[in-house]
Structure 1
Amino acid sequence: MSGWNEQENYRAPAAIRLFNRALAHADRAPDSPDRTELRVRVLYNLGRSVGETSGMAAAVATFDAARREADLLEDLKLRALLHGCIDHSQGMIVLRLGQPEQAVQWFGPMISFVEQEMSSAQEPVTSDLVRRLASSLIARAFANAAIRRAELAIADLERANALSREYELQDLYPYTLHAIANAYKQSGDLAEALRRYEDVSRFLSRQEQASLLSGVQLDHAEAMLMVGLSDEAGRALDEALPVMRKEKVHQDVAEVEMFRASAALLDDQLDLARRMAKRSQRKLEKRGSTWWMMAALIELWAHALQAKRVTNLLVQKALTLSEQLAANHLVDEARLAKLLAARLEVRRHRLVEGEELLRQLPSPRAVTPIDHRMQRRLVLAELALAKGNRRSALLHARKGLDELGSVRDQLGGLELVSATAVHGRELGVLAIRLVQESNDARQLFTWLERTRAQTYRYEPLEHVENPELAERIAEVRGLGRDLMRAGLDGRPTAELRSKLARAQREANRLGWNAQRWGRPRPMAGLRDVIAELGERAMVSFVVSGGDMAAVVVAGAKVRLVRLGDATEVLESAQKLHFDLNALAPDHLPPPLVQVIGASARKQADALDAKLIKPLVHLIGERELVVVPTGTLYAVPWGVIPSLHGRPVVTAPSATAWLAASQAERPATDKVLLVRGPNLGFADGELDRLAAHHEKATVLSGEDATAAKVLEHLDGADLVHVAAHGEHENENALFSRLELDDGPLFAHELGRLRTPPAHVVLAACSLALNRIRPGDEALGFAGAMLAGGTRTVVAAASKVGDEVSAAAMADYHRALVAGAAPAVALAEAMAKDPFRRPFLCLGSG
């Protein structure tokens, strides 16, 4: 029916004309039950369109007319069916007009009717009847979701999905999958939402239903942004944009640009955020979509962050936008716009006005997005600070970070757990600045632990095998080999690279779908840290307001030392890293070694002068535990003159170090030595190491496969891997060790039931390479530490094969003699620190 088509395309006036024409045709037909049934069906559809244009009263009058005519029918079953259809239609218009609580009851009659038919019918019910049941379940789910009854909504959607699968309703099946994912997202269960989006995306990809896939991709990207995966969402949206532009799907292009702007805003890419938001806003306004207001909010937010001076115009724009969003039922976004206005008023020192705007905002709901919650806490903290109440400001910061922690506690996969930190970044920066200004070293220590490296605060739960993830990683491994061969043969690689990127993305997202990553450990307290340190010292570096500082814990005392401008320090660390990479190759010409070595020593001296010498009066000759920040993660501390030959352990946080140091596990005396391909010197190296470890298992050649290495890693006391490796900048969990059958990925380490206690990564720079907001350090070594490995020895930069072999021979010799890992590594590095840039990570 054309009227129905017009109605489905939201063209109510045209639908009304066609429905009235249909009624006129029916009136000319002889009186009969068929004519009455037709009139009822036309009337209840007409009622929906009338409701869109003339409101509830006109719609109810039309529905009542349909009911009176339905009551004329003698067929009781048909009469009940039509009453169910009328009630469903009335429920739809009640829902559309913003009364979801009242709408719920209107879908019950159709559901009850079909259920009764299904239970009493002698023959299977028709697919049309099942479709009506599924449609009413879906509509009732939307109504329940709107009034925050998430469990009821999801139950109805799951049932509709099962019906669509059982009765092969091909169009409803992906629709219900998508709706279930949206319901979980709306309920705040982001981990489950991400899993469901992956399910429906894979289904639609297999069915080649690109038109439906684009909508799923948009909602999926929004869920990724809500959890903090701005980089992953940005990459996915960058891939989707060219395809959508080519297909000229203008609404989808505009929405993708809007979400891309949101990802850029989270990543502090303000120019990109404004550019994308403006493009999106223009397209959406042109199409008459109310979503233009959401794009405008992103652009305004980025503009406000860039503005050197806050003007009244910016505030008024935010308030106007808030009113427009509220008028269009975009409740959360309207509140966010008002929050922005309040924050701008605080920045203008109009505290009364800012406080009044905050007072107008209701408390967050259970399903309020976490990024909105963090913004509210941030504005409250900034207001308290502007009023001179530092204590209240810190209280709001702590409560906000606690809320963020509650979200993090429910997530699965390292990538998700580490990503959430982006939402608490501004709160953390504010708190650290306040505490540092107070010169309270003990309080600063506590806040550093509260704001950094939260990934390592979890005790991993026992792994549940995921065959699909294992299969996808095997595919990534195979595609990697194919890509390498194609490159060597001079064949085109573009298609293979695209397939590899897609397989990596799917594997990564499957990793998000795991059970909760772990049980949260309590944050390390100073008393416990001091007791565990004993005669050692701990140095936690921090950057705040452009300045570097250190919190030093030594001899039961805690001191704050200000170290001056951070820019030069971080630049020196970066330059040192580059120099060490350049020094790495074996058999460099002596003149080149001399020039590069001089540059490296210059940077090491600069770091010594800025970072270590100001602390000497506190740390003396003690062994050190260093908690770095930013590019300091890449510093091999043995190259610093004042630390030459001194045992140093690098840890992501005091909490992570304490947990690793106090971890108890029975010794197994299980030693594993692994040799990867293309290391000609390694035959002799492993033979020499095996002499130190008589019962060691040696895997080399065809035995050194990813599966066998993983099998033997499980439960090992000591593992030494001589293999090339590579860090993956865009996806740290695909950092890899090259083995005989291809790479072993950091992703796969989550499959270990009992992680090895002590791991040496001898021939590759796979330390804590990727640093996310909140000093969340990821990479191959990071995955091992987060998974429960106590100590990882790895290179902070590239290292020559022969140099690595010599350093590791010295290291194992000291280990066997009884030295602790940090002591053994200090002795090994001391012989040639700039060519042996290793770190002892974890507990040491």
Structure 2
Amino acid sequence: MRSSPESSELDALTLQVELAAGENADGRPAPAARRLRPALVRLDALGRGADVGRVRARAVLELAKSDFEMRADASAQLERLDHLAADGAGWPGLEPAVAGLRGLLHLRAGDVESSLRELDTAVDQIDSAEVIDACCALLNRGVLHLERGDLARARRDLAECVRRSKEADLGLLVFKASHNLGYLEYLAGRLPLSLARMEEASQNDPGGPRAIALLDRARVLVEAGLVGVADATLAEAAAIFAADRLPHDLAEAELARAECALLRADHAAAQRFAAAARRRFERRGDEAWAVRATVLELQVQAAALTREGEAVSTSGSNGTRDLSVRLVPAPDELPPALRTAWRRLATRCAQLELACADTGRTQWAYVARMLRTEAEVTVGSGADARSRLVALGAVPAGAPLGVRLQGQRLRAELALRAGDRARAARHVRAGQRDLAAHRARFGSIDLRTASAVHGAALAEIDLRMALASGRADVVLDAAERSRAVIRGARRVNPPPDAGTAALLAELRQLLEQSRELDRRPATDPQRERARREALRLRHAIQARSWQEGDTGPADEPGRARELVAMLGAHPGTTVVSVLEHRGHLAAVRLTQRGAQLVPLGPAGPLREQARRAHADLPVVANPLVPAGLRAAAEGSLQRALGRIDDALCDAVAAPGELVVVVGGWLAAVPWSMLRSRVGRPTVVAPSARHWLTHAVPPGRRPVGVPGLAEQRLSAVAGPGLQHARLEVEQVALGWPDSVVLTGPAATCAEVAGVLRAPGVVHLAAHGRHETDNPLFSSVRMADGPLFAHELDNGSAAPELVLLSSCEVGRTSVRPGGEALGLASVLLRIGVGAVVAAIAPLSDDVALRVMTRTHALLRDGWDVARALAQATQVDAGRGAPAPLVCFGASV
């Protein structure tokens, strides 16, 4: 029996070891090690009793964890465990505890087979293990099965860990196992469910946000295509890993950030992050992870060399309107320095392929093989392209979307080099179908649009083949396939979400209450607190939307033959589809007589003129700006519009209605304000399919479908606009069926309701486009802002929405090419046409133009003609209205 002082000392040391175990579990090995070293010295002084032996063994186990995480000295820590096992310690649970920790160390070091052997031993002895060791062994073996792609075994181990941990009230282990069950859904390809499971797990996390959970969540977001959000999440995780001295986890975060940078084509950042990760792994002796980082470095180098080669191949046509496109550049066309760089890359990839195969990393070996193949065919060395297609082999089972699409892209390139365009097209279509199936799992507009980033390379090949054919109809069809990939499927009736509704109400209230704070300096503490809280709420709302799964089937891409046939019912209408390929613009011009391919030259100058026009529009519209400055801005605006018109005249010259089909930054061109279009009906459509679906031939409405003038008008006035109430009362005059909402009646709920019902909707309200987060673009109602995010609901939609608001026709282009904003969301949910401003709109101009437009609509005019006629008067007076008809003329 121990004396009282010895017993008290042992109790104190037991507490120290338990605290250190908690620090290790929280990912803080440095303070754990500082606590354990003196504790072990004091334990050695207490003698060799069984109770001391157990506490000492626990201390050794925890110190082995701490030292490994900080120093990566797996062999030294395994030797320490061997000594502990040989010593015996008089503790029955020692053997499974040691086996479990050996398994964890091997797993962290990348030795999968040794890890599995030790963890199997630990689980086999689970009946003699203490409950925490039993749960840890199940957790770590479940994670190992995830690494190996054995999802069924992983699910069994993790579920059993959850069960045992709940029974023992081990909250942290419940969280970790539940979180990994969410990660399992990611590996199974069920991304929304994965995010939902991770969110559920985080609600039960006793310690708050954890860096490793942030890392896993970011990986799911990368696969979904939310590159910016993922990178910000990874930066947060990396800062925590660095502060807690966890170099392995920090390197994993850097590796994932390199993937984000590669997806957004920032090759310099991707190279920097991948190299930093590789160096950390090498310093720790994490060979398998170092190989993985090297694979990514080579992927970045290949992407950078490809871009450099494209720049060389197009440099000769700068400033010209040459549309000739080489399907496959000849190796001897590459500059010597590029050929040398590709050869070096091929050599490194061959070496890396062997290294990956030796470590059992079949997926990485396959990526290295693809890179080697691409490098060799680029410089014309080795076997012919047809033989390489056969030698490439199948993509490994369970490979992520990016690897699968890379495989289809390379097969298409090889088929082109073999002269087999049909086979190349089949590989492109197969990749696009894979991406469409991937995106169909998402309910959120955020994820449906973001995931398009994965399909950019396939879209480039598709368009390259089309342009090389020289056929206008083939080019139009390829452009529409690309737009269908970017836009994805329309949402179908998502279930109501009380949690999201509560968050939206909280955000709305916060923004209304903090409106006065916007007048204070940006450094004002209260304003900064409100900004941070609004950002938190936006992130929470987005995160909930990411958990929504399943959309309806995607729209079929529009086809040239459909358009030509449809134009037979629209005499005088011209459809122009404008597209960009490798820095050059081209247009497909369609009339009822057929299709014509029109080269438009370099994109850069036109993009700059569009930027200048958008910079001038707010100055021209602001009556508080001094007259001289406004006159200068007006002159600058007219010059920019003239240059755009001159550059596009071959494509957009049309005496009647012009339908411009564009995406990305081209949607920001002020098409209806061009000199040649003033007073002429102009429609900006997101896709040919949208126009085909919603355009109504003159005098040929479907049976039973009332004309616009026979439909109900809902006219809504928001607060704070000088003429809003007068405007909605005037536009409602003469409509046979109308409802006017003003004052307290014009709530977000009421307006959301009218935007989910057939008819015509007119909103006169303050508008705001959120450049960084376009789904939170809004119009201000009586109780606060109504967000674009709230409208993506899959229900019925009006035929026409007129937004008498500033800049809600603007969009922000996301990685992958989708342009998002309030007007674009309305089109996505099924609104046929949206009239919206792409710049600030003065109250006086809005009142005049909208009143005229409605008078013409009531007289039976279609919306594009009505808007063109209504804006022409003010344009002639030097007060241009930056209003655009988006979608189709209804």
Query: TM-score w.r.t. structure 2 length?
Result: 0.79
Equivalent-residue separation in structure 2 for 1:324 and 1:188 (angstroms): 28
Equivalent-residue separation in structure 2 for 1:514 and 1:390 (angstroms): 39
- Specify every segment of 5 or more residues in structure 2 that has no aligned partner in the other structure, as ranges: 1-56, 69-73, 309-337
Q: Identify if the C-alpha distance between structure 1 residues 457 and 612 changes in structure 2 by more than 3 Å, giving closer, same or farther.
A: farther
More displaced 10-residue stretch of structure 1: 520-529 or 395-404: 520-529
Correspondent of 2:255 among 250, 253, 258: 258
Correspondent of 1:392 among 423, 429, 433: 423
Which residue number in structure 2 is paired with residue 18 of structure 1? 84
- Contact kept in structure 1, 2:484 and 2:557, CA below 8 Å: no
**1:297-317 CA distance string (max 9 Å, x none):** 333332333345134222222
Equivalent-residue separation in structure 2 for 1:392 and 1:151 (angstroms): 36
Equivalent-residue separation in structure 1 for 2:114 and 2:373 (angstroms): 28
Identity %: 28
1:704 aligns with 2:746: yes
Equivalent-residue separation in structure 2 for 1:270 and 1:514 (angstroms): 32
1:409 aligns with 2:440: yes
Equivalent-residue separation in structure 2 for 1:839 and 1:99 (angstroms): 62
Which residue number in structure 2 is paired with residue 345 of structure 1? 376
- Contact kept in structure 1, 2:853 and 2:870, CA below 8 Å: yes
Q: Identify if the C-alpha distance between structure 1 residues 814 and 598 changes in structure 2 by more than 3 Å, giving closer, same or farther.
A: same
Which residue number in structure 1 is paired with residue 3 of structure 2? none
Which residue number in structure 1 is paired with residue 538 of structure 2? 504
Which residue number in structure 2 is paired with residue 58 of structure 1? none
**1:690-726 CA distance string (max 9 Å, x none):** 3233643322332333223223333141111111122
Which residue number in structure 2 is paired with residue 193 of structure 1? 194
- Specify every segment of 5 or more residues in structure 1 that has no aligned partner in the other structure, as ranges: 27-37, 56-90, 115-126
Equivalent-residue separation in structure 2 for 1:486 and 1:719 (angstroms): 32
Q: Identify if the C-alpha distance between structure 1 residues 98 and 353 changes in structure 2 by more than 3 Å, giving closer, same or farther.
A: farther
More displaced 10-residue stretch of structure 1: 470-479 or 506-515: 470-479
Q: Identify if the C-alpha distance between structure 1 residues 433 and 218 changes in structure 2 by more than 3 Å, giving closer, same or farther.
A: same
Equivalent-residue separation in structure 2 for 1:255 and 1:93 (angstroms): 13
Which residue number in structure 2 is paired with residue 183 of structure 1? 184
Equivalent-residue separation in structure 2 for 1:202 and 1:427 (angstroms): 39
Which residue number in structure 2 is paired with residue 835 of structure 1? 880
More displaced 10-residue stretch of structure 1: 147-156 or 389-398: 147-156
1:681 aligns with 2:679: no
Structure 1: which amino acid aligns with 2:854?
H
- Contact kept in structure 2, 1:737 and 1:745, CA below 8 Å: yes
- Contact kept in structure 2, 1:573 and 1:631, CA below 8 Å: no
- Contact kept in structure 1, 2:606 and 2:647, CA below 8 Å: yes
How much has 1:417 moved relative to structure 2?
0.8
More displaced 10-residue stretch of structure 1: 498-507 or 281-290: 281-290
**1:759-785 CA distance string (max 9 Å, x none):** 111122112512235542211111111
- Contact kept in structure 2, 1:733 and 1:746, CA below 8 Å: yes
1:583 aligns with 2:617: no
Which residue number in structure 2 is paired with residue 540 of structure 1? 577
More displaced 10-residue stretch of structure 1: 9-18 or 441-450: 9-18
How much has 1:360 moved relative to structure 2?
5.2
Structure 2: which amino acid aligns with 1:568?
P
How much has 1:551 moved relative to structure 2?
0.9
Q: Identify if the C-alpha distance between structure 1 residues 159 and 442 changes in structure 2 by more than 3 Å, giving closer, same or farther.
A: farther
How much has 1:621 moved relative to structure 2?
2.5
**1:84-105 CA distance string (max 9 Å, x none):** xxxxxxx9999941797x9999
Which residue number in structure 2 is paired with residue 97 of structure 1? 113
**1:219-257 CA distance string (max 9 Å, x none):** 111111122211221233344444554454433333322
More displaced 10-residue stretch of structure 1: 781-790 or 322-331: 322-331
Which residue number in structure 2 is paired with residue 484 of structure 1? 515
Q: Identify if the C-alpha distance between structure 1 residues 539 and 151 changes in structure 2 by more than 3 Å, giving closer, same or farther.
A: farther
How much has 1:180 moved relative to structure 2?
1.0
More displaced 10-residue stretch of structure 1: 396-405 or 524-533: 524-533
- Contact kept in structure 2, 1:230 and 1:267, CA below 8 Å: yes
Structure 1: which amino acid aligns with 2:785?
P
Which residue number in structure 1 is paired with residue 669 of structure 2? 635
1:283 aligns with 2:280: yes
Equivalent-residue separation in structure 2 for 1:578 and 1:217 (angstroms): 39
Q: Identify if the C-alpha distance between structure 1 residues 333 and 471 changes in structure 2 by more than 3 Å, giving closer, same or farther.
A: farther
1:221 aligns with 2:218: yes
1:530 aligns with 2:564: yes
Q: Identify if the C-alpha distance between structure 1 residues 475 and 152 changes in structure 2 by more than 3 Å, giving closer, same or farther.
A: farther
How do 1:311-710 residues align onto structure 2 when only pairs under 5 Å count?
Answer: 311-350=342-381, 352=383, 361-454=392-485, 456=487, 458-488=489-519, 491-492=524-525, 493-533=527-567, 534=569, 535=571, 536-586=573-623, 589-614=626-651, 616=653, 620-661=654-695, 669-693=711-735, 695-710=737-752
How much has 1:476 moved relative to structure 2?
2.5
Which residue number in structure 2 is paired with residue 77 of structure 1? none
Q: Identify if the C-alpha distance between structure 1 residues 169 and 614 changes in structure 2 by more than 3 Å, giving closer, same or farther.
A: closer
Correspondent of 1:744 among 775, 780, 786: 786
Correspondent of 2:856 among 782, 804, 814: 814
- Contact kept in structure 1, 2:477 and 2:559, CA below 8 Å: yes
Equivalent-residue separation in structure 2 for 1:138 and 1:440 (angstroms): 58
Query: TM-score w.r.t. structure 1 length?
Result: 0.83
Q: Identify if the C-alpha distance between structure 1 residues 14 and 356 changes in structure 2 by more than 3 Å, giving closer, same or farther.
A: farther
- Contact kept in structure 1, 2:104 and 2:140, CA below 8 Å: no
- Contact kept in structure 2, 1:341 and 1:354, CA below 8 Å: no
Structure 1: which amino acid aligns with 2:191?
L
| SS of equivalent to 2:353 | helix
Give me the CA root mean square deviation. Answer: 3.5
Report the count of equivalent residues.
772
| SS of equivalent to 1:561 | strand
- Contact kept in structure 2, 1:457 and 1:523, CA below 8 Å: no
Structure 2: which amino acid aligns with 1:97?
E
Equivalent-residue separation in structure 1 for 2:231 and 2:449 (angstroms): 17
Which residue number in structure 1 is paired with residue 54 of structure 2? none
- Contact kept in structure 2, 1:94 and 1:103, CA below 8 Å: no
- Contact kept in structure 1, 2:385 and 2:418, CA below 8 Å: no
| SS of equivalent to 2:541 | helix
Structure 1: which amino acid aligns with 2:843?
D
How much has 1:520 moved relative to structure 2?
1.7
Structure 2: which amino acid aligns with 1:772?
R
Which residue number in structure 2 is paired with residue 302 of structure 1? 300
Equivalent-residue separation in structure 1 for 2:516 and 2:109 (angstroms): 60
**1:392-438 CA distance string (max 9 Å, x none):** 33332222222111111222211111112111112211221221121
More displaced 10-residue stretch of structure 1: 767-776 or 550-559: 767-776
- Contact kept in structure 1, 2:103 and 2:114, CA below 8 Å: no
Correspondent of 2:803 among 761, 765, 790: 761
Equivalent-residue separation in structure 2 for 1:191 and 1:376 (angstroms): 25
Equivalent-residue separation in structure 2 for 1:699 and 1:103 (angstroms): 70
Structure 2: which amino acid aligns with 1:368?
A
Structure 1: which amino acid aligns with 2:252?
E
Which residue number in structure 1 is paired with residue 773 of structure 2? 731
Equivalent-residue separation in structure 1 for 2:225 and 2:302 (angstroms): 21
Q: Identify if the C-alpha distance between structure 1 residues 661 and 634 changes in structure 2 by more than 3 Å, giving closer, same or farther.
A: same
Equivalent-residue separation in structure 2 for 1:745 and 1:730 (angstroms): 14
